[in-house]
Chains A and B, each alone.
Chain A
C-alpha cells in the first residue's frame, strides 16, 4: 500500500541525519561583500552623474548666456569627480580576502574618511556654487550688456542716495558676504545631509551589521 505523505514525513525524520543543523559560521561573509558591492555600484553611478552634469552644464549655460556660471561650475564638478575617483580607487583596493569583520571595518573607515573629506569640501563647495550663480546672472553673456550693472543703474535712478562700495550697492555686497558666510558655516551640514540622501540607508545598514558583529565577537 502506498504511504501517505504524513507517514513519509514522520518516518523520514525519524532518522536523525535529516535534521543536522549546519554550523553557524561565516554568518556575515556574503552580507559584507553585498553591502560593499552595492555601495561601490552606487558610488560609481554617482561619479558618472557628476561628470555628465559637468559636461552638460557648460554648453547649456553658454547657450542661455550665463557662461560665468557655467565655466566655474564645469571646473568645480570636474574637481569633485577627480577626488571621487581617487576615493573610488581606494575603495577598490580593499582586500576581499580579509575576514568579514575586518573587511567591513576597513570599508567603514573608508566611508568615514570620505564623509570627512566631503564635509570639509562642502564648506567651500556651496559658497563657490553660490558665487558662480551670482556671477552668472550678474555678468550675463560674453560681451554686450552686464545685467547686474543695468539693475544697479536702474536702482540708482530710483534711489540716488544709495550707499555704494567700488561701484556696487552696499546691500548687494552685504548680501554676498552673508550668503557666503552662511553657506560656509552650514556647508558641512548640507554636505552631510546630501550624502545621507544618497547613501544614508546603506550606511545605516553598515552600522547595524558592524554592531551585530561586534556583539557577536564580544560574546564569543
Chain B
C-alpha cells in the first residue's frame, strides 16, 4: 500500500474506521489490528469501488464487514482454544476517551449484538435509513423500528 494512497484516500476517512473499530474491540492492541486490517482491505479492494456510492459510504461498508469477519474469526479461534471464552462485550474495555459519556456510550454499544452495533453507529453518523439498509444489506422499512429498539436498549444500559 503506497503511503500516498493511505494519506489521500484513507487518512481523511480514518474517523469512520476508528469509530467502527472501537465498537468491535476491547483493547488498544485489537483496535490497532482491526484498524490496520480495514486499511489493508480498503487498499486491496480499491479497484472494486464502483462509484455507485460515496467513497465514505463504501468505507463504512467495508469497515463493518471487516470488523464482523475478524470478530467471527476471533470467536471461532477462542472457542477452539478454550471453553471458557468470554464474548468481547463481557470483557472490560482497557481504553478510555477523555469524554466520560462517550466511554459509557461505547461500553453500552459493545453490549449490543454485532449487527445492532453497526446499525446504531451508522445512525449516529447521520446516515439515512436507505444508506443504513444499503450498507447493512437489509430492508430500509425495518431500520426505523430497529433503531428505536436499539436506542431504548442503550438508554436502559446507560441508566
Contacts and interface: CB of A to CB of B under 8 A. Distances in A.
Contacts, number: 71
B3 A220 contact: yes
Tell me the dominant secondary structure on chain A's binding face. helix
28 contacts: A5-B158, A8-B99, A8-B104, A9-B124, A11-B101, A15-B97, A15-B98, A17-B97, A17-B98, A18-B18, A18-B97, A19-B14, A21-B11, A21-B14, A21-B17, A21-B35, A22-B31, A22-B32, A22-B35, A22-B36, A24-B1, A24-B36, A27-B39, A27-B40, A30-B33, A212-B40, A219-B4, A220-B3
Interface in B1-45: 1-4, 6, 11, 14-15, 17-19, 31-33, 35-36, 39-40, 44
Tell me the dominant secondary structure on chain B's binding face. helix
5 smallest CB-CB distances across A and B, nearest first, come from A12-B102, A219-B2, A21-B14, A12-B99, A9-B124
Contacts of A219: 1-4
Interface size class of A (residues with CB under 8 A): 20 to 34
Interface of B: 1-4, 6, 11, 14-15, 17-19, 31-33, 35-36, 39-40, 44, 97-99, 101-102, 104-105, 124, 151, 154-155, 158
Contacts of A8: 99, 101-102, 104-105
B26 to A, nearest CB: 15
Contacts of A24: 1, 6, 36, 39
B40 to A, nearest CB: 6
